[in-house]
Amino acid sequence: MIDEVLADLKAESQVLDDLVAPLEDWSIATPAPGWTIAHQISHLRWTDRIAALAATDPEAFAEALRTATPDLVDKGAEEPVTLEEWRAGRDELERALLAVPAGVKVPWFGPPMSPASMATARLMETWAHGQDVADALGVTREPTHRLKHVAHIAVRAMGYAFLVNGLPAPTAPVRVELVGPAGELWTWGPEDASDRITGPALDFCLLATQRRHRDDLDVKAEGEVASAWLPIAQAFAGPPGPGREKAVPDPEEGSA
């Protein structure tokens, strides 16, 4: 399992690497307010480093967490980084996760995770920040089977999303049915659940990583719990994010 996820993480990282490696200027603004492409890559490098620390030295990670300030993430994104440093950090994290003993969970900002789940979380974040870079460059990335990892961690984080928004944990199960890039159906939850989430996997992943406004996506909810979850869905650990503004229609669209 860990080998498969790490292979997909490497492939997802390479997609972003291919976008930024030819660029001479990383100061291009991205859709994340105040963040340039350099911030996006620096944040990924910083998170890879702290994840490797959590995997190799849980006590040092706990101390870093204890002394963390609310602007920890933003400070991490401000650190200068080179392409070579980011690449080296990715390799360092892979080695660290492979070395975690069987059955041991890695501490994190949210609940502790298995090495495979940590790799899934890193893939999710790489894909999400890669979306910001792609949007900044006007590039449309080809959706792949790797979206299933992103969707999976978002589904698993449903209860956490309620928790960090100060809401009681849901008791009713939710059935999630997503259509993958090749037309395949990905499902989570009991088939007979009355609460349901349906739509394209890409749209659900964009929503759960808060890279698009819900109104700009074709994701549907049925039932009280599902309807309450979609507006607060998040695939990442930490406090709720501000999300993205609804897209402004092109005034020339539809004009004759």
Q: How far, in Å, CA of 207 to CA of 39, rounded?
A: 22
The angle at the Cα of 37, spanning 139 to 127, to the nearest 5 degrees, equals: 60
Pairing state of beta strands 185-188 and 174-179?
Answer: antiparallel
Q: Which amino acid is at 72?
A: L
- Let me know how long the chain is: 256
Question: Domains in the chain, ordered, with CATH?
Answer: 2-137 (1.20.120.450), 147-232 (3.30.1050)
Distance in angstroms (rounded) separating the CA atoms of residues 136 and 134: 5
Mean pLDDT by 10 residues, the chain (256 residues): 95 98 97 96 96 97 87 83 97 98 92 94 97 98 98 95 94 97 98 98 98 96 97 90 79 50
Q: Are strands 174-179 and 195-200 parallel, antiparallel or unpaired?
A: parallel
Is pTM, for the whole model, over 0.75?
A: yes
DSSP letter at 174?
A: E
Which pLDDT belongs to residue 252? 56
- 214 with 231: CB under 8 angstroms? yes
Q: Give the separation between CA 90 and CA 151, rounded to whole angstroms.
A: 22
Strand 195-200 versus strand 220-222 pairing type: antiparallel
Instruction: Give the C-alpha distances (Å, rounded to integers) separating 186 from 90, 94, 201, 236.
Output: 28, 27, 8, 20
* Separate counts of helices (H) and strands (E) for the chain: 10, 4
Which string of b and e fits 202-216 if b means at least 16 CB within 10 Å? bbbbbbbbbbbebee
Q: What is the pLDDT of residue 71?
A: 78
CA–CA separation, 88 and 91 (whole Å): 5
| Angle at alpha carbon of residue 7, lines to 76 and 207, rounded to 5° | 60
Under 8 Å CB-to-CB from 40, ≥6 apart: which residues?
30, 32, 77, 129, 132, 133
Structure confidence at residue 193 (pLDDT)? 98
Q: Looking at residue 250, what is its pLDDT?
A: 55
Q: Say if residues 175 and 197 touch (Cβ distance below 8 Å).
A: yes
- pLDDT of 69 reads 81
Predicted confidence at residue 256, as pLDDT, reads 42
